[in-house]
């Protein structure tokens, strides 16, 4: 048996490169004790909303009875990872955009820790 899958989601503005968001979520999972390496954690883009993209991180835990503790630590690691890379988590809402456009130039598509395949 592969174990129990857990899920958590974040909403991130369109100004953050999606490849960077995927990489940060996966790094947060790698740093979380109690998550299995196999099957590997994965990220889905669940929604392209008016002001943000909703990302869902899925991972398998080793001990189902520790679900809440592992999920809590995963959420903490996600916050740390996003803060480390200065990417704002926009859940659940935000009030206003800055004056500059919210687009990602191609030169930033692989901003750290993302890397081209």
- Give the residue-averaged pLDDT of 58-82: 95
pLDDT at 21: 97
User: What's the pTM value of the predicted model, to 2 decimals?
Assistant: 0.83
Burial of 88 (0-12, 13-18, 19+ CB in 10 A): middle
Closest CA to 42 of 61, 64, 23: 23
**How does pLDDT run across 104-113, given as a tens digit for each residue?**
677 888 888 9
Under 8 Å between Cβ of 8 and 75? yes
Burial of 23 (0-12, 13-18, 19+ CB in 10 A): buried
Length of the chain equals 117
- Identify the H or E element spanning 8: strand 4-12
């Amino acid at each position: 048996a592969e174990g129990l899958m857990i899920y958590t989601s974040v909403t991130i503005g369109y100004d953050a490169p999606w490849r960077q968001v995927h990489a940060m979520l996966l790094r947060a999972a790698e740093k979380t004790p109690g998550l299995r390496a196999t099957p590997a954690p994965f990220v889905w883009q669940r929604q392209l909303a008016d002001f943000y993209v909703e990302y869902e991180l899925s991972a398998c835990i080793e001990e189902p009875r520790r679900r809440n503790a592992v999920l809590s630590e995963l959420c903490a690691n996600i916050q740390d990872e996003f803060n480390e890379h200065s990417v704002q988590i926009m859940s659940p809402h935000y009030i206003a955009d800055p004056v500059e456009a919210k687009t990602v130039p191609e030169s930033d598509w692989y901003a750290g820790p993302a890397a081209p395949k």
